[in-house]
Homo-oligomer: A and B are copies of this chain.
């Protein structure tokens, strides 16, 4: 429960954007959900797009921070990969609306992917790829496959799990979180094939 109106509005926007999607969200909906007047939303945010960008920027900020931290840390590769998965699952547990919006409105939106949007993704992938490359260099990951291939597969698997949760509006229990991390890591590192 935030006190200041600005945060209340952002919180309300998160909910509405998640429920209805960007295109079907009305500024009036946000104001109503926030319990503030129509005009106040415009008092704090220049417009619908700005409000959306504020939210998305917050997400990218968290994501980059985490990836940079992992990249810089000297934990071993496997733990880094686990931490990345953990980040998504834990953020989903704490801020499901934020992650939902990322999955449904940003991740695949052709609309969002214009100039600036695409650049965000490239950074996201680059930071991850750096970790993969390091893993290869250290002999932890196989080197006969390009690091960006590994990146795609790894992030694709995470996104698939997250998407399922988002679309099904599922809860993530602690136990499920660990099982999911374990499953993804196991398959990613050792493969789905029987020995």
Contacts and interface: CB of A to CB of B under 8 A. Distances in A.
Interface of A: 18-24, 100, 103-105, 107-111, 113, 118, 121, 139-146, 149-150, 152-161, 163-164, 166-168, 180, 183-184, 186-195
Contact of A167 (B24, B118, B153, B183): B118
A121 B160 CA distance: 12
Given A110-B166, A149-B187, A153-B184, 5 more contacts: A23-B24, A105-B110, A140-B193, A141-B193, A154-B192
Closest 3 CB pairs of A and B: A156-B160, A191-B191, A23-B23
Interface of A (DSSP majority class): helix
A190 B164 CA distance: 25
Given A18-B110, A152-B160, A153-B157, A187 B183 contact: no
Contact of A103 (B21, B108, B161): B108
B153 A188 contact: yes
A178 B146 CA distance: 14
